Amino acid sequence: MNIDTRIYIAGHNGMVGSAIKRKLESEGYTRLITSSSQDLDLRNQQDVRNFFDETKPEIVIDAAARVGGILANRDYPWQFLYENLEIQNNLISAAHENDIQKLIFLGSSCIYPKFADQPLKEYSLLTGSLEPTNEWYAIAKIAGVKMVEALRKQYDRDYVSLMPTNLYGPNDNFDLETSHVLPAMIRKFHDAKEAGHIPVGLWGTGSPKREFLHVDDVAAAVLFSLTHDMQYDLYNVGTGKDITIKELALTVQSIVGHNGEIEWDTSKPDGTPRKLMDVSRLKDAGWTYSIDLEDGVRSTYEWFLDNIEDIKEVKL
């Protein structure tokens, strides 16, 4: 791989894809291939095949997916399962059919069983039942992981699956109906502050523990995986550290500057009790994170303020 390699980033307008694009550009890669969803429907197999024929990528990074939080997963199980299967099947199969030797498939820590031993290790995959609140998305991503594994095993493809923990950062989704927990908190605390520091309602008890990774760090992990020989097909990507949702709320509240009360709605689900990643496999390969949570939340809130007029509320 060199700066002239043709690298296709699927999902380049999303939070993860845009971070990967920024990272590659900052490192001098000049032949990045992108296409918006308006120009290329990744759910259409023939369109994807035609796109590969026209652009002839040498490396594929699959950062495209239909994503959302607990509420979105609950309300749209079919879309989260079927559309994600379509997207990844089309991209991975097109890469294989075009004899592309290097592919990075991005998923999520939700692929692991709800009650798997903590911290979550790569070999915990498929050892138990999934968390019901996001099983539709998880099942699709598990299928993608196994496709990568199968192509490595049968055709010796240099394909790698990276499973990040909970991500946040610039270009996140801040819509309160479809966003994940951290950007939703930023939005809620900001709106409550602007409304005179009114109380903020949050789901659950605040007791579950979660790990958070800045999206620029996962972009760095992607670049590392592209430029190194990776021994395994599956790697966890995270910090190896977690905090309770209540601690996260207090951190976000302090950074945003909201002085009101937090009201916990214990009638709403908590989700998985804990999701901490074992990141030793990727650390042993030579990569580790660099952005701590407080600095990451602060820079993300600054981005939110700078872009508040342009932030799109994604509707499913």
Task: Read off the pLDDT of residues 60-88 as tens digits, 9 standing for 90 and up.
Answer: 999 999 887 777 788 899 999 999 999 99
Q: Which band of pLDDT confidence, cut at 50, 70 and 90, is reported for residue 316?
A: very low
Determine what percent of the chain is predicted with pLDDT higher than 70: 98
165 is in an annotated binding site: yes
User: Residue range 139-161: average pLDDT?
Assistant: 98
Cβ neighbours of residue 52 closer than 8 Å, sequence gap 6 or more: 8, 94, 95, 97, 98
Residue with tokens 């800045």: 214
188 is in an annotated binding site: yes
Cβ neighbours of residue 51 closer than 8 Å, sequence gap 6 or more: 35, 40, 94
Q: For the chain, where are the E strands, in sequence order?
A: 7-10, 32-33, 59-62, 102-106, 158-164, 166-168, 200-203, 209-210, 212-214, 234-237, 243-244, 262-265, 274-275
**For residue 128, is pLDDT > 80?**
yes
141 is in an annotated binding site: yes
For residues 119 and 175, the model is more confident at 119
CA 113 to chain centroid, in Å, comes to 18
Residue with tokens 């990776």: 230
* CATH assignment, 7-306: 3.40.50.720
Nearest CA-CA partner of 268 in 195, 312, 207, 221 = 207
**For residue 315, is pLDDT > 50?**
no
User: pLDDT tens, 281-298?
Assistant: 999 999 999 999 999 999
* Number of neighbours of residue 102 by Cβ within 10 angstroms: 20
Chain-wide mean pLDDT for the chain?
94
Note the pLDDT of residue 312. Answer: 54
**For residue 250, is pLDDT > 70?**
yes
Q: What is the chain's alpha carbon radius of gyration, rounded to the nearest angstrom?
A: 19
125 is in an annotated binding site: no
The C-alpha atoms of residue 58 and residue 55 are separated, in whole angstroms, by 9
The C-alpha atoms of residue 255 and residue 236 are separated, in whole angstroms, by 28
Could you give the residue numbers annotated as active site? 137
**For residue 194, is pLDDT > 60?**
yes
266 is in an annotated binding site: no
User: pLDDT tens, 93-116?
Assistant: 999 999 999 999 999 999 999 889
Going edge to edge, which strands form the sheet with 7-10?
Answer: 32-33, 7-10, 59-62, 102-106, 158-164, 234-237
129 is in an annotated binding site: no
